[in-house]
Structure 1
């Protein structure tokens, strides 16, 4: 079957949706495993560091271990992606999930400082570094895997569903942490309750890994294997030599998304409670509803980019994020009854991140696609994941709307980036969107694979 062109009536088949569902479920569990740590960071500090040190130092060390996962995210992502371009998408895709599931399970079984002394925080740090490497390989690998299985005119929707699955992991983590604290008294949480979400995530990850093993290699990579071209450069070297402009612009786009996501989804609940004294229960309910809206928004943005393209989808998406976030911080502060509706709107607008996958996928040819997507996506997230909370917190001390101004500035930059030719370039891929099962060659409307592109 030839790759579909824009305007084709080809739709996603049942087998497509089944594969996308398995991939999205894995993303849900990987991001759940990655973020569940932060919900129990105070408990971790008490159990994995000496009781003799001050509270602020214990908290600082705990956050340091949490942040360490962001440091290995680009390194692990690029390493996994490198082998994805060389030995296949499926193998590295399975590896990234196992690299997350097993350390998460191990954290749930890890002895505490009172039991093994300094080995406890050292082992926790090593496991956290492994989690960071895994999450760096998950989202780029998932985007590439589904994009190379579906018709080319449905790449946006497929990647949007995968993004929605990853965002659902945040909701899963929030609910799991809430349930533990709700059902167990504090002393039981400290004794064993904190382990339950890690054990749950690890076991579900292992079960999902078994299901992922049933997935097949992508038709695009199989086509590359049938028509091998001796590589002159390693994938990362080829990118630096032949597509530096694409990489820089996509890194800029990823930086915008990282900034907005961290402030709106990770920091806003605490900021609303601290600055406007809104009830914690109302904020938690609105935040969970916003994550649900984010999940829907990811699918909507991914579907929209298939229909109208990257420029209008990203432009109007970033403008809506800035406007709705201002509304959330201005109106909800004085009219708490509007909190839920405005957070829902902001979460849906933030679903613009669902369009990211299609933009990244279409920017790189198959021979360097995994590496190009992973490097461009992960490095800004690693940098901004640590800088944004500091910058937004500082701005909040100057004015309550400081974080909203920060988001608006990022969105304005995103609108400018969305106008560039590289962001709207579709020439590189995904190439045969659905290769023939009879072994036919890649589509003639797609450029010939070349590791030098």
Structure 2
């Protein structure tokens, strides 16, 4: 993967293959890091919180999802770096910050050893991760898009979108394999640390791959022409009409995309464990199957959006998700626990495959929403404040609003008094409200963007 030489400038440029691999690998690892604490929230609640006989699962989820709350702040920090210094440097720093935080989670002493310092240290690490991922995703999507031909932006940025399910897939595999080689007591005692520590090796490899990259040609030209923003954060909020665009991006796409992803992945994961009462290993297998087979659709829908537009695919994914999510959760219970058992129980392979198929169909609808979203987001903002504007909008919607879905659904279920028949499903009101708002905002206010010239301001 040698860099190409530009015949006009004589400068080295990245090949598109090099750009995609380096950007995708780094983003994939950061999603792996981000998801790991959510997947292992159950064991973290027993190791880093007091063992007093009561469940600290909700408190653990609150700490874990705190990372999503800090993402808008991180987007302004990294967005400013990306718009002033360069795209490459911003997501190199974010990669190092994310890897360090994940590795340190694997080193946190238990509550038994240091008391309340344990959950505090987890909170600090999750805040670091939230700041890091806010700079990573936007930077990677913009970097790839600014290298890609105009008619293939969705196709190439679709690879970045696909890093979400693949990152989760690797995360689930590492956890599953670690559990397979250890007893339950060994995993709960020390084995849970292994997936976090393993991330350190992945991050080091990714850093050296990314370090060889050159800056994007669009940003280099902007810098050469002296048109880079001196104050991207200020300009993002003072440029006429930009706040309105950010609000459209937040409520017309990002918040819905995030809540759909959180619901089809993590809310499903916890619902199958805590409501359907399936064994943890069975739940991992189900989520692994649906994640594996849905991962190809993220890039597919990104590519399709180059031909028919971003809006119809995203809108179609939202509408399908709005109907499929409540239906799928009803089917999870009907297939997995038709007798309403209150204890953990096993189910046969046909039932496992049936639940996995339902999960897959819902995940494909989510892929339609997310696949074109990266290209759509970068196309609606001007080049010189693109990183800051896109990053803030994406992290407000994807992080602050939609990112809390896992915690909010659990909170609603545990506090809202409803009938016994509705109690397992009441938490779904939050994602459904966000999706409905997005459908209305997207349909009535958001223009098509797939023919936008990225070099125009």
Q: With structure 1 as the length reference, what TM-score do the two structures score? A: 0.83
Q: What is the aligned partner in structure 2 of residue 362 from structure 1? A: 379
- Aligned to 1:382, which of 388, 397, 400? 400
Q: What is the aligned partner in structure 1 of residue 184 from structure 2? A: 186
Answer yes or no: is the 8 Å Cα contact 2:76–2:388 preserved in 1.
yes
Matches within 5 A, 1:330-345: 330-331=330-331, 333-335=333-335, 336=351, 338-345=354-361
2:339 aligned with 1:315: no
Instruction: After TM superposition, give the deviation of residue 393 of structure 1 in Å.
Output: 6.0
Instruction: After TM superposition, give the deviation of residue 55 of structure 1 in Å.
Output: 3.2
CA distance in 1, matches of 2:436, 2:217: 38
Instruction: After TM superposition, give the deviation of residue 327 of structure 1 in Å.
Output: 4.2
Distance 1:358 1:113, change over 3 A: same
Q: What is the aligned partner in structure 1 of residue 23 from structure 2? A: 23
Instruction: After TM superposition, give the deviation of residue 272 of structure 1 in Å.
Output: 4.0
Q: What is the aligned partner in structure 2 of residue 248 from structure 1? A: 247
CA distance in 2, matches of 1:213, 1:232: 25
**Which runs of structure 1 show a deviation greater than 6 angstroms over 4 or more consecutive aligned residues?**
none
2:438 aligned with 1:414: yes
Q: What is the aligned partner in structure 2 of residue 199 from structure 1? A: 197
Instruction: After TM superposition, give the deviation of residue 288 of structure 1 in Å.
Output: 1.4
Instruction: After TM superposition, give the deviation of residue 334 of structure 1 in Å.
Output: 3.8
Answer yes or no: is the 8 Å Cα contact 1:105–1:198 preserved in 2.
yes
Instruction: After TM superposition, give the deviation of residue 73 of structure 1 in Å.
Output: 1.6
- Aligned to 2:363, which of 322, 329, 347? 347
CA distance in 1, matches of 2:313, 2:150: 18
Instruction: After TM superposition, give the deviation of residue 43 of structure 1 in Å.
Output: 3.4
CA distance in 2, matches of 1:119, 1:392: 25
Distance 1:91 1:343, change over 3 A: same
CA distance in 1, matches of 2:256, 2:430: 10
Distance 1:272 1:84, change over 3 A: same
Instruction: After TM superposition, give the deviation of residue 249 of structure 1 in Å.
Output: 0.5
CA distance in 1, matches of 2:269, 2:124: 30
Distance 1:105 1:281, change over 3 A: closer
Q: What is the aligned partner in structure 2 of residue 127 from structure 1? A: 125
Distance 1:326 1:54, change over 3 A: closer
Q: What is the aligned partner in structure 2 of residue 162 from structure 1? A: 160
Further displaced range: 318-327 or 68-77? 318-327
Distance 1:369 1:389, change over 3 A: same
CA distance in 1, matches of 2:272, 2:110: 34
Answer yes or no: is the 8 Å Cα contact 1:76–1:134 preserved in 2.
yes
Which deviations, in whole Å up to 9, do the C-alpha atoms of 1:379-434 show, x marking residues without a partner? 12223322564247636955255456655544443332333454424576422xxx
Q: What is the aligned partner in structure 2 of residue 176 from structure 1? A: 174
Answer yes or no: is the 8 Å Cα contact 1:314–1:415 preserved in 2.
no
Which deviations, in whole Å up to 9, do the C-alpha atoms of 1:347-390 show, x marking residues without a partner? 11210211110110101111000011111011122233225642
Which deviations, in whole Å up to 9, do the C-alpha atoms of 1:39-75 show, x marking residues without a partner? 3334334443455x5534x545433331321222221
Q: What is the aligned partner in structure 2 of residue 148 from structure 1? A: 146
Distance 1:263 1:75, change over 3 A: same
Structure 2 gaps, min length 5: 5-12, 336-350
CA distance in 1, matches of 2:151, 2:128: 35
Number of residue pairs aligned between Structure 1 and Structure 2 = 420
CA distance in 1, matches of 2:320, 2:41: 33
Structure 1 gaps, min length 5: 2-12, 432-446
Q: CA-atom RMSD, angstroms?
A: 2.9
Answer yes or no: is the 8 Å Cα contact 1:164–1:294 preserved in 2.
no
